[in-house]
Amino acid sequence: MIDKIRDLDRRRAGALHSVGDRWRALPKWQRGLTFVAFVAFIYYLPLLGIPGLTWLRTDSISGGSNWAGVLFTCAVYVLVAIGLNVVIGLAGLLDLGYIGFFAIGAYAVALFGSVNSPVVKWFQAEFDLPPTWAVTWAICAFIALVMALISGVILGWPTLRLRGDYLAIVTLGFGEIIRIVARNMEGVTRGPQGISAIPGPEGPPSPDNQIFGLIDIKPWYWLAITVVLLMVFAVRRLENSRVGRSWLAIREDEDAAAVMGVYPFKFKLWAFAIGAALGGFAGFLFASRYAFIDPTQFNVNLSILFVAMVVVGGSGNMVGVSVGAVLLAYLPERFREIADYRWLAFGLAMVLVMILRPQGLIPSKRRARELKDRAAEAEEAPAHV
């Protein structure tokens, strides 16, 4: 059985590799054109009406979710996956508390942007502001980004000196702490009651909003996917720079990197902070679109889901992790029969991928090689571990 899976997998991987090689061999302008077409298709997706492809839509089944809404969730998860990929895939740090940053971003817009938040009420009382006053959405976006970034630094500063597996457990604890704090500090976060009336680009949710309403999700999706594309561009810039090389070097051999003049702590902290900022921004988009959050939405299980997206998709590779994110966000919505079993499926997928194919479904070329060679090493000298 397992051999059969392995064989199938090998054939599929072979096909994938030849696709990748053929892609790289194309002239630059053809690649550019294909990319533009792909982006156009992504923007067209919520309107998807091509005969033969409509079965992809989640509202093609009875009682299915709003198609654009599902796409929005996918986009937010892709953003999370790209951020987490910087931490796990590039810098090689296992962060199990990513949901914490997501929550911080979400709470940033809720606490500063909603008229119902105790923080805004406090500002109103303190500075004699009208009861409709709240921080504008755009400024909230900035606050969310900065707060997540700072929390990443605060968490990373003491913990990034730890060994990898300890770091993982500590971050897991962090994710849980954020949720408990949100639940317990009722004076600030309204605790389990949650915060409503979180603003969108057009201000607080109201039926008068022309574009970013609660019924039509398409504009939200377009907004999210624009952010995703911008972030992909930004992370690409980092990947192909001194910073990206330092991350890879640290991931490969931290001591050797240090001897070559790379300060591992500094670059690890950067990776952590950038990952946190992206996660926070994803949380910000999430909170704006749903206009309501409460602590139960930031369960630590989601952190595990995020890690699953990255490692199942293929860590280190932005295409891989994005595919992982889309699969995990989309499949349970389209195939309702399996929705109940999705956590089970994620767990199984993680175990199977790690045992059979640790480089993920769509590996980055480099990562795949490292793992193959490790296996070769193990065969040469019987391992003791």
The token duo for 230 is 């911008």
d(CA 57, CA 2): 33
Query: Which 94-123 positions form the footprint of other proteins (CB under 8 A)?
Result: 94, 96, 118-119, 121-122
Of positions 24, 28, 259, 337, contacts other proteins by CB under 8 A: 259
Q: How far is the CB of 169 from other proteins (least distance, A)?
A: 6
Residues that bind other proteins (rule: CB under 8 A) add up to a total of 91
Of positions 48, 61, 168, 214, contacts other proteins by CB under 8 A: 168
Query: Which 301-330 positions form the footprint of other proteins (CB under 8 A)?
Result: 301, 304, 307-308, 311
Given the structure tokens 């061999």, which residue do they identify? Answer: 25
Of positions 71, 358, 362, 363, contacts other proteins by CB under 8 A: 358
Applying CB under 8 A, the span of 20-28, 73-81, 209-217, 257-265 interacting with other proteins comes to 257-265
Q: How far is the CB of 288 from other proteins (least distance, A)?
A: 23
Q: What is the DSSP letter of 66?
A: P
Tell me the DSSP string of 231-244: HHHHHHHHHTSHHH
Site track 23-62 with other proteins (rule: CB under 8 A), x = hit: ----------------------------------------
The token duo for 22 is 């053929």
Distance of CA 335 to the CA centre of its chain: 22
Given the structure tokens 């995990």, which residue do they identify? Answer: 328
Question: Can residue 154 be called a binding residue for other proteins (CB under 8 A)?
Answer: no
Question: Can residue 153 be called a binding residue for other proteins (CB under 8 A)?
Answer: no
d(CA 101, CA 90): 19
d(CA 238, CA 201): 29
In order of 174, 266, 312, 376, the CA distances from 336 in angstroms are 32, 45, 21, 42
Largest CA distance in the chain: 75
Question: Can residue 375 be called a binding residue for other proteins (CB under 8 A)?
Answer: yes
Question: Can residue 196 be called a binding residue for other proteins (CB under 8 A)?
Answer: no
CB nearer to other proteins: give 61 or 243: 243
